[in-house]
Structure 1
Amino acid sequence: MSTKFIAAVVQAAPVLFDLEKTLAKTADLVTAAASKGAKLALFPEAFISAYPRGLSFGTVVGSRSAEGRETWSRYWNSSIEVPSKATERLGKMAKNSNLFLVIGVNEKDTVSGTMYCTMLYFSPKGELMGKHRKLKPTAAERVIWGEGDGSTLSTFSTSLGRMGGLICWENYMPMARMAMYQKGIQLYLAPTADSRESWQGTLRHIALEGRCFVLGCNQFVTKEMYPKDLQGIQDLETQPKLMSRGGSVIVSPMGEVLAGPLWNEEGILTAEIDLDEVAKSKLDFDVIGHYARNDIFDLSVKNQPEIREMDKPKN
């Protein structure tokens, strides 16, 4: 089995608040990534169907507005259930392009009425392998997203390597990162909405700390992309024309930037991933091995799922 393959990070915007058009755009982007030879394609946080940057949903401390509830309703209706016909379509995209597809979605729980910021994993066979729900939404995100739990700290052992990841500022949670490292992660996926320069340092640190490949992926979004008839659109009056400038990047286990960062445009970055580099990088540092000091430290994670064996050839 070859240890080398092409990975892609897709920096783009959805068709904001429009599920059908976003799914159609996603299909085109998956095909484009495959045409570049990608066997793994990562999409940004909340790509289906919006990261609602700049919107208040009519909320202030102590009150909510009727207009804000209309904004929420439209956001809810452009999100997806898991599983559903929408996830079946995403699975077919992965199968048709023969790649692993990992994509950020707004997941609606129609029983509880809660929405989650979720990362979905699809195999080249079109199977929904699993999902990860963001453990801790940041700041005002807590108005719109519920909290995930340890049962979705998902990691998958695949023909490309052991993959998993965390969403945006979850990656600032040391224990959450360590939970991923404990599973021997080799392909660390970090979709985000953070386009700050400081985020680049975070991704390089994770690569060096975990001795893993890190794929960071963000949206490129302008104010003009928001639907003009969106309730609450006036919230954007004080926002800049460029809402998210991107910054997608691929980093090696030694902290070397292999592709990107990509700024101020949509695009697909690719890089050759060689899993042999993971083993080489651990000569002098292995966070769960000879640097772990298990005689001193112990991390226990509640409700953590087992590593799933996916799409691996049988001996």
Structure 2
Amino acid sequence: MEFPKFKAATVQTSPVFLDVEKTVDKAVSIITEAASNGAKLIAFPEVFVAGYPYWNWIMTPVQGSKWYEELYRNSVDVSGPDMQKIYDAAKEFDIHIVIGINERGESYGEIYNTNLIIDNLGNLIGKHRKLVPTWAEKLTWTSGDGSSLKVYKTDIGPIGTLACGENTNTLARFTLLSLGELIHVANYISLPVAPPDYDMAEAIKIRAAAHSFEGKLFTVVSCSTISKEIMQRLKPDVPNVEELLTRKNSAFSGFIGPNGTTIGTPLIDDEGIVYAEIDLAKCIQPKQMHDILGHYNRFDIFDLRVNVAPTSKIRFVDGFNNLGG
């Protein structure tokens, strides 16, 4: 049996705000750099293409309405031309990619917070739609469903992903573990408008460590930053935007090993790319003590049921009220 070893990269940076083409070009540039340094997997932040709806937190819903429309115009169809450069880069540089996007739905105004899983042949092998938009995010995103709660087999190992706050969802995480996840990509956004006593960077680290320790796997964390360009775009509507969107310890990106400890030195707030060597054989020994998928569980007592059926918006029933006509 083979246990893959490979070099992984994770990114901490901001998108080119609400500009799909320039953000995709930035992503390709970063992919090129990471691949040149030997990376076979790269993780990008939540909704990296092409931006997070910060206005939900610092404006009223009425004030944010025009920004919602602009975000919709800069959402993407995963099978459309906007993302092709990234798929092509995955193939050209022989690298697996997990990247967050604003995915355009079928209805005007329908946007999903989606993570794409792209293999090293340039194939879009999966997409995960955030199950529950967090707090003010409900003003923007439609909820995903269980059909996207999957783990994807790749040349470097089985990959699963969750976006931001849903990494606190114990049942979602256990579902991925039960599907054989050994590489977990958790991506986030910087959120300085959290309560004053909330250390966002530490909270991200705690979530990643919990999942890695419980599942005995590797967690790759990628978090975005808030650029001056983003703040300048929002400043006409929120004059004190710098005060609201600037706070230390708001972003954490790095790697957590199967024992729950940090691998190398993570990035906190600063932009850049972090690398780590991943050896999936290291997932074996820790399971001798706690294997919650095997000997360290009681499935005769606990039974988790997961609905993986896609949500249906409508059902047509032939002859439903046909009273003898």
1:178-217 pair list within 5 angstroms = 178-193=174-189, 195-217=200-222
User: In the aligned structure 2, how far is the partner of 1:132 from the partner of 1:164?
Assistant: 9
**Which residue is 2:154 aligned to?**
158
1:278 corresponds in structure 2 to 283
Question: In the alignment, which residue of structure 2 is the partner of 1:312?
Answer: none
Partner of 2:84: 88
Structure 2 match to 1:115? 111
Q: Distance in 2 between matches of 1:173 and 1:37?
A: 33
Would the aligned equivalents of 1:58 and 1:69 in 2 still touch at CA under 8 Å? no
Task: Give SS of 2:167's match.
Answer: helix
1:24 is matched with: 25
1:71–1:285: structure 2 CA closer, same or farther, 3 Å change rule?
same
Q: Distance in 2 between matches of 1:289 and 1:25?
A: 43
1:262 partnered with 2:258: no
Name the stretch that deviates more: 211-220 or 223-232.
223-232
**What amino acid does structure 1 have at the position aligned with 2:33?**
A
* Secondary structure in structure 1 of the residue aligned to 2:152: strand
Structure-1 separation of matches of 2:211 and 2:257: 10
Q: Tell me if structure 2 keeps the 8 A contact 1:22–1:49.
A: yes
* Residues in 2 aligned to 1:304 and 1:30: alpha-carbon distance in whole angstroms: 34
Contact 2:99 2:117 in 1 (8 A): yes
Report the CA distance between 1:112 and its aligned residue: 5.0
Contact 1:222 1:243 in 2 (8 A): no
Using structure 1 for the length normalisation, give the TM-score.
0.89
Counterparts of 2:245 and 2:15, CA distance in 1: 19
What's the % identity of the aligned pairs? Answer: 35
Q: Residue 228 of structure 1: CA displacement?
A: 3.1
Quick one: which of 163, 180, 183 aligns to 1:167? 163
| Residues in 1 aligned to 2:111 and 2:239: alpha-carbon distance in whole angstroms | 24
Q: After superposition, what is the alpha-carbon deviation per residue over 1:139-194, rounded to whole angstroms, capped at 9, x for unaligned?
A: 00000001001000121111111111211111111111111111111001101125
Aligned residue runs from structure 1 range 295-310, under 5 A: 295-303=300-308
Other-structure match for 1:250: 255
Aligned residue pairs: how many?
Answer: 300
For 2:57 and 2:206, the matched residues in 1 are separated by 29
Q: 1:216: Cα distance to partner?
A: 1.0
Higher-Rg member (1/2) = 2
Q: Is the 8 A contact 1:57 1:69 kept in 2?
A: no
User: Measured at CA, do residues 54 and 229 of structure 1 come closer, stay the same or move farther in structure 2, by a change above 3 Å?
Assistant: closer
Q: Secondary structure of the residue that 1:302 maps to in structure 2?
A: coil
8 A Cα contact 2:157 2:182, kept in partner = yes
1:133 aligns with 2:138: no
Q: How many Å separate the matches in 1 of 2:261 and 2:288?
A: 17
Long gaps (5+) in structure 2: 191-199, 311-325
What letter is aligned with 2:9?
A: A
Q: Which amino acid aligns with 2:176?
A: M
**Superposition pairs for residues 2-41 of structure 1, below 5 Å?**
3-41=4-42
Instruction: Quote the Cα distance in structure 2 between the aligned partners of 1:90 and 1:217.
Output: 17
Offset from partner CA, 1:9-29 (integer Å, 9 cap, x none): 111110111111111101101
Cα gap change, 1:102/1:244 in structure 2, threshold over 3 Å: closer, same or farther?
farther
The equivalent of 2:50 in structure 1 is 49
Which residue identity is paired with 2:265? Answer: G
**Are 1:16 and 1:226, in contact at CA under 8 Å, matched by a contact in 2?**
no
> Are 2:218 and 1:222 aligned?
no
**Structure 1 unmatched runs, 5+:** 306-315
What is the distance in 2 between the residues matched to 1:217 and 1:82? Answer: 21
The structural deviation recorded for 1:90 is: 1.6
Identify the structure with the greater strand proportion: 1
Alpha-carbon distance between aligned partners in 2 of 1:264 and 1:146, rounded to the nearest angstrom: 29
Deviation string, structure 1 residues 68-127 (Cα, Å, up to 9, x no partner): 322112111222112211222221121111100110111111435310100001111111
Compute the RMSD of aligned alpha carbons. 2.1
1:311 alignment counterpart:
none
1:113 corresponds to which letter in structure 2? Answer: G
